A and B are shown apart, each in its own frame.
Chain A
Amino acid sequence: MPIHDQGYRHYTGERTLHGRGWWVIARAGMLERLRERRFLGLLLLAWSLFVVRAVQLYFGETIARAVFFAPSERTFQLFLDQQRLFVFFITIYAGAGLIASDRQSHALQIYLSRPITRNDYIAGKLMTLAIFLVGVTWVPAMLLLVLQVLFSGSLAFVADHPRLVPAITAASALQVALAAVTMVALSSVSASRRFAAILYAAIAIFAGAIAAVLRASTGNAGWVLVSPANTLLVVNDAIFGGSSESAVPLAVAVGVLAAIFAACIVILERRVRAVDVVA
């Protein structure tokens, strides 16, 4: 373009078909977060446990006396459980403003007046958060498995535990999906990212506390299901083949998670609209 030509010109280039809007939204959301040093610091911190576990694996495989560091399926389940803390902070940091900020700046009408659907928009926002969460759950867990193979010099461990890879994948997916869907739904409730963050933290922290109090006072293990995080633990236990300490039926726990997902979908369906109708 000549430097003097600053007038309006018609566009004659390529236009892609509809259906990739979610990826445009997800990519922009991720790039925006990755420009923040604090967030990068949080991501790095989230990998600190991976480093610890990697060192343990190394000693477990190379030093005969450190056999107690030798990995098992439980090692990977524990690793994913311990990553919950970082999942919590990353979810709040990267997720609270995903829709709330758009509501505050009236950006929903900008998005939805483009050739993208509400599902594209929601999927893009979910992906923004989910990719970061996958990066601190599934990716380090699988890398640990790869390191185990490298340190031991054989595939024997993987061959002896054929359901480990699917279990890590399923447990990570569930953990990521629950955090992402809940946070995005809560983010759509308000135009304040701070309010959305407080709401998420309140649910995560107080639900756990309430569950513990109810369980202790009534002696009924079923009360653990009041807390989404505890419910997730029950399901993860089943995924990794363990026996649940809470003795809660798996079907009930799955049902609770399904109800949470359904509630989030209803919230998103009602809140993500270009036109707010006040009845």
Chain B
Amino acid sequence: MNTQPAVSLEGVTVKYGAHEALRDVSAEFPSGATGLLGPNGAGKSTLIKALLGLLPPASGRMRVLGYDVRESPLAVRARVGYMPEGDAHIPGMTAVSFVSYCGELAGLPRANAMQRAHEVLFYVGLGEARYRNVETYSTGMKQRIKLAQALVHDPDLLLLDEPTNGLDPNGRDEILALVRDIAATKAISLILSSHLLPDVEHACSHVVVLHKGAVATQGPITALKGTSGRLFELRVKGDEAGFADAVRAEGLECHADGGGVLRIFVPEERGSRLLFQLALRHGVQVRHLRASVPSLEDVFARALGEEER
């Protein structure tokens, strides 16, 4: 496996006028599938557009597949496939002519681009609908054709901006299966930008979490999930918010999921007994206690929590 990172950023700052959309971002996206996580407005799309050379950074350095983005934006774009977030197509074209046209724009000869268009349309599941006008496609089909146009020139790196937006559960699963297949068996690195944690957890091995334009955390998902302590899911009867504050005052990490469940990280040397003691002290009843496994959601919540602090 290639050990060179697909993308590396050093102190990148991108501004929209006076507003800093990315602040001194330094991150590495290794080969393979990397999730780019963050709430809306975190700077994910800005980062992707900066990687494509469409938004020049105010400062910092970006390397994509070994190319400096500022010096060689065309070389970068020749080797990168980009699936934009919103609806995007070229009007008046059938799917096969649209994808073929995108291949030609990426430098493929006309005949080869047409052959590749047929192949990738079959690959993304649009083979039967490839002679239909793109404007007549459903939302799910439009997502697939955006993936097809990003793949047609056989890129080394795919930038997928919210690829499951607007999809029903089945459509979402199918797109994620394709994304997973591309990264796992086609040797194409990808960056999957999403605010949906399960999507990233399903398809990616690494993650970079952005929050308010800065990197909140990054690394392999398994390593980030790992904790020196134990994770408990807890339901209490009584003043839940007050109890959560008391837990935090004790120096423990506590995240409420909004559904009455508190997820609390307890250090190894302090067992679940501590939680009962706190509950007793705070006058709440423990109605449910279960040892749990850290999820990407915990990583995300922890990263954002640390950023807030």
Contact, CB under 8 Å: A107 / B89? yes
A109 and B154 in contact (CB under 8 A), knowing A15-B107, A101-B91, A117-B74?
no
Within 8 A of B (CB), among A95-115: 97, 101-102, 104-107, 109-115
- Is A74 an interface residue when CB atoms closer than 8 A count as contact? no
Q: Interface readout for B77-116 with A: 1 if CB under 8 Å, 0 if not?
A: 1101010101111111100000001101111110010011
- Report chain B residues within 8 Å CB of A218: none
CB distance from B21 to the nearest CB of A (A): 10
Residues of chain B at interface, number, CB under 8 A: 45
With the chains together, A15 CA to B160 CA distance in Å? 23
- Is A274 an interface residue when CB atoms closer than 8 A count as contact? yes
- Is B75 an interface residue when CB atoms closer than 8 A count as contact? yes
Q: Interface readout for B43-61 with A: 1 if CB under 8 Å, 0 if not?
A: 0000001001011000000
With the chains together, A97 CA to B92 CA distance in Å? 11
CB distance from A106 to the nearest CB of B (A): 4
Contact, CB under 8 Å: A110 / B149? yes
- Is A52 an interface residue when CB atoms closer than 8 A count as contact? no
Contact, CB under 8 Å: A18 / B123? no
- Is A155 an interface residue when CB atoms closer than 8 A count as contact? no
- Is A1 an interface residue when CB atoms closer than 8 A count as contact? yes
- Report chain B residues within 8 Å CB of A115: 74-75, 77-78, 105-107
Contact, CB under 8 Å: A275 / B49? yes
Nearest residue in A to B88 (C-beta to C-beta)? A106
A1 and B90 in contact (CB under 8 A), knowing A11-B108, A275-B55?
no
- Report chain B residues within 8 Å CB of A1: 115, 119
Q: Interface readout for B216-256 with A: 1 if CB under 8 Å, 0 if not?
A: 00000000000000000000000000000000000000000
Contact, CB under 8 Å: B90 / A105? yes
Q: Interface readout for A78-109 with B: 1 if CB under 8 Å, 0 if not?
A: 00000000000000000001000110111101
Contact, CB under 8 Å: B16 / A279? yes
- Is A228 an interface residue when CB atoms closer than 8 A count as contact? no
With the chains together, A169 CA to B148 CA distance in Å? 44
Work out how many contacts link A and B, with CB atoms closer than 8 A: 114
- Report chain B residues within 8 Å CB of A209: none
Interface size class of A (residues with CB under 8 A): 35 or more
Contact of A110 (CB < 8 Å), options: B88, B151, B187: B88
- Is B186 an interface residue when CB atoms closer than 8 A count as contact? yes
CB distance from B46 to the nearest CB of A (A): 8
- Is A198 an interface residue when CB atoms closer than 8 A count as contact? no
With the chains together, A105 CA to B134 CA distance in Å? 11
Contact, CB under 8 Å: A275 / B74? no
- Report chain A residues within 8 Å CB of B123: 6-8
Which of B92, B107, B123 gathers most chain A CB within 10 Å? B107
- Is B17 an interface residue when CB atoms closer than 8 A count as contact? yes
Contact, CB under 8 Å: A105 / B89? yes
Contact, CB under 8 Å: A275 / B88? no
Q: Lowest 8 CB-CB distances: which A-B pairs, in order?
A: A11-B154, A113-B82, A6-B122, A115-B78, A106-B88, A114-B105, A274-B54, A115-B74
Q: List 15 A-B contacts (CB under 8 A).
A: A6-B119, A6-B122, A8-B182, A9-B119, A17-B107, A18-B107, A102-B91, A105-B87, A105-B90, A106-B88, A109-B82, A113-B80, A115-B106, A117-B74, A275-B49
Residues of chain A touching chain B, judged by Cβ–Cβ distance below 8 Å, are 1, 6-11, 13-18, 21, 24-25, 28, 32, 97, 101-102, 104-107, 109-117, 273-275, 277, 279
Residues of chain B touching chain A, judged by Cβ–Cβ distance below 8 Å, are 16-17, 49, 52, 54-55, 74-75, 77-78, 80, 82, 84, 86-93, 101-102, 104-109, 112, 115-116, 119-120, 122-123, 127, 149, 151, 153-154, 181-182, 186-187
> Apart from A10-B187, A106-B84, A275-B54, what are 5 other A-B pairs with CB-CB below 8 Å?
A1-B115, A8-B151, A24-B101, A114-B78, A274-B52
